[in-house]
Amino acid sequence: MLNLINAMKTLWLACLAVLLSSPTCADGELLGDIRFQAATDEVSWVGQQLELQLELWTNGFSFANQLFVLPEVKGAYLLQPDATTVKLSDNRNGEQWQGLRYTFLLYPQKEGRLEVPSFDVSFAARAGFGSEPANFRFSTGSLQVETRLPPGADPGSLLVSTTSFTVESAWTPADGTDSPVNLKVGDAITLTVTRRAEDVPGMVFEPLPEIAIDGLGIYPKTPQLNDRVDRGSLVGERTDSVTFVCEREGNYPLPVFVFQWWDPVQESLSEQRIESLELNVAANPDWAAASDAAADILMPFGWRGSLTTVLALLVLVVLWFAGIPRLRNYLQQQRSVREAGEPWAFRQVRLACDSGNAAEADRAIMLWLSRVDGLQAGCILTELAESSGNMELKKEATTLQERVASGSTEGWQGDRLARLLVGLREGLNQPRESEHALHALNPPPIR
């Protein structure tokens, strides 16, 4: 028995010595490699989730410092759902190689051939415990993807391709089941639409169409995205809200909302609709009486001395005639208007940068850029900085993207980026001289 125990100890020490020995590669040369490919060679549908796989390989013992920044793909959304990896192994000419696989999700939004631009990938590998790491840097090369549009689909819309798609809608305060809805001037009604789909993130859903109806104030709220990932299964959710404020009496039919979706398994195009709602808006005597009363009260006073009276009167009028619920609706409408503007979006950028939250700053910058007049849809900060010649801003923007992509956002400082963005915003807001502007008739004198 004692001999058996001693033999087991000897074997264990021998195994440990092998693990702690020099490099696992036979010739001592540490090598690395990458592969970037689509999970399938089949032509995908527009809007359908397509998996792309990035694999890192080495004949060494372990990986470290993996870093890459996903490129922007024209005509598609490219996302990394999470930072998890799959471990791989391969035998190459009798030598054992280890690999890590990252999975990305591509959502094409137009038909034809799409190109995923090349991007850089870097990582480090060790030959064994205690050995010096070797650094590797590669370029993936561009990747071509073929897509086709489902028959009958609108080529100008963002199509959702999924096996499960639901739409829920609600009108507040009316339930929307009875039409027309009788309202008065000053009343408001809000439509809330929630869409869910399997294997499609909420950001791919098309926004609600822009609406303009004379006599109604229309205030969309910033959409809410609530995606859920459970054991690799993605369920995307987007909630949109739009408030209609009755400004004048009359009859107002609201539009029909139609949402198309394509089932790639059944190969069928379906749609879900939110039927039109008719608003009958009557005059509001209370509001007219309040306006007359305010005019009578303010007649004896000058405008400077009546400021306090105006504010007190407005508060009393709102509380008396509209009531607390109407005041709450009004404040919510004003908040929706503010949150839909460019100044509010830039304030979120400043707050996120000041707090040192890299992920929040990245999302806030994308939202802000989408609201800047004159910029193309999908514009990203690095491209904007490069086109403007601001290399310092491009460096800070690239650092932010690398931090977010790697998941190492702790310790990030956004003060410098915030200052550079303030300068960029001032330049973007400056009026640009038209190319066809006429020269001054009287040129300035020469001094």
On whether the CB atoms of residues 212 and 163 are closer than 8 A, the answer is no
Instruction: Please check whether residues 96 and 138 belong to one and the same domain.
Output: yes
Instruction: Please check whether residues 144 and 170 belong to one and the same domain.
Output: no
Coil, strand or helix at 419:
helix
Angle at 259 between CA 257 and CA 264, to 5 degrees: 170
Query: By residue range, what is the domain housing residue 411?
Result: 342-427
Instruction: Please check whether residues 130 and 176 belong to one and the same domain.
Output: no
Q: Residues for the chain: how many in total?
A: 447
Which residues of the chain fall short of a pLDDT of 50? Answer: 2, 13-26, 298-299, 301-305, 432-447
365 Cβ contact list (under 8 Å, min separation 6): 349, 381, 400, 421
- Letter string b/e over residues 323-340, b meaning 16 or more CB atoms within 10 A of that residue's CB: eeeeeebeebbeebeeee
Question: How far separated are the first and last CA of the chain, in Å rounded?
Answer: 109
The whole-number pLDDT of residue 315 equals 66
Would 291 be classed as within a structural domain? no
Please name the helix (run of DSSP H) or strand (run of DSSP E) that holds residue 365, with its range, or none.
helix 358-370
Instruction: Please check whether residues 403 and 363 belong to one and the same domain.
Output: yes
Would 6 be classed as within a structural domain? no
Coil, strand or helix at 122:
strand
Task: Compute the distance between CA of residue 105 and CA of residue 99 in angstroms, rounded to an integer.
Answer: 20
Instruction: Please check whether residues 86 and 164 belong to one and the same domain.
Output: no
Task: Compute the distance between CA of residue 311 and CA of residue 270 in angstroms, rounded to an integer.
Answer: 53
Instruction: Please check whether residues 188 and 133 belong to one and the same domain.
Output: no
What would the two tokens of residue 114 be?
A: 């799409």
What would the two tokens of residue 333 be?
A: 């409408």
Would 72 be classed as within a structural domain? yes
Instruction: Please check whether residues 36 and 139 belong to one and the same domain.
Output: yes
On whether the CB atoms of residues 251 and 214 are closer than 8 A, the answer is no
Q: Could you give the angle at which helices 307-317 and 285-298 cross, rounded to 10 degrees?
A: 160
Would 19 be classed as within a structural domain? no
On whether the CB atoms of residues 252 and 279 are closer than 8 A, the answer is yes
Domain boundary residue among 103, 119, 148?
Answer: 148
CATH number at residue 164: 2.60.40
Task: Compute the distance between CA of residue 22 and CA of residue 9 in angstroms, rounded to an integer.
Answer: 22
Please name the helix (run of DSSP H) or strand (run of DSSP E) that holds residue 427, with its range, or none.
helix 415-429
Instruction: Please check whether residues 175 and 112 belong to one and the same domain.
Output: no
Provide the number of structural domains found in the chain: 3
On whether the CB atoms of residues 171 and 191 are closer than 8 A, the answer is yes
Would 367 be classed as within a structural domain? yes
Q: Please give, one letter per residue, the 3-state secondary structure of 18-50.
A: HHCCCCCCCCCCCCEEEEEEECCCCCEECCCCE
Would 402 be classed as within a structural domain? yes
Domain boundary residue among 283, 298, 320?
Answer: 283
The whole-number pLDDT of residue 434 equals 41
The whole-number pLDDT of residue 397 equals 85
The whole-number pLDDT of residue 126 equals 87
Instruction: Please check whether residues 274 and 370 belong to one and the same domain.
Output: no
The whole-number pLDDT of residue 119 equals 94
Instruction: Say whether the peptide bond before residue 343 is cis (omega within 30 degrees of 0).
Output: no
pLDDT in tens, 278-315: 999 998 876 655 555 555 554 454 444 456 666 766 76
Instruction: Please check whether residues 111 and 205 belong to one and the same domain.
Output: no
Question: Against a cut of 0.75, is the pTM above it?
Answer: no
Instruction: Please check whether residues 143 and 165 belong to one and the same domain.
Output: no
CA distances 40 to 34, 44, 51, 165, 402, Å, are 18, 9, 8, 24, 28
The whole-number pLDDT of residue 313 equals 67
Would 351 be classed as within a structural domain? yes
Task: Compute the distance between CA of residue 359 and CA of residue 346 in angstroms, rounded to an integer.
Answer: 15
Task: Compute the distance between CA of residue 160 and CA of residue 197 in angstroms, rounded to an integer.
Answer: 8
Instruction: Please check whether residues 129 and 232 belong to one and the same domain.
Output: no
Angle at 144 between CA 138 and CA 145, to 5 degrees: 130
Would 314 be classed as within a structural domain? no
Place of tokens 């930072």: 83
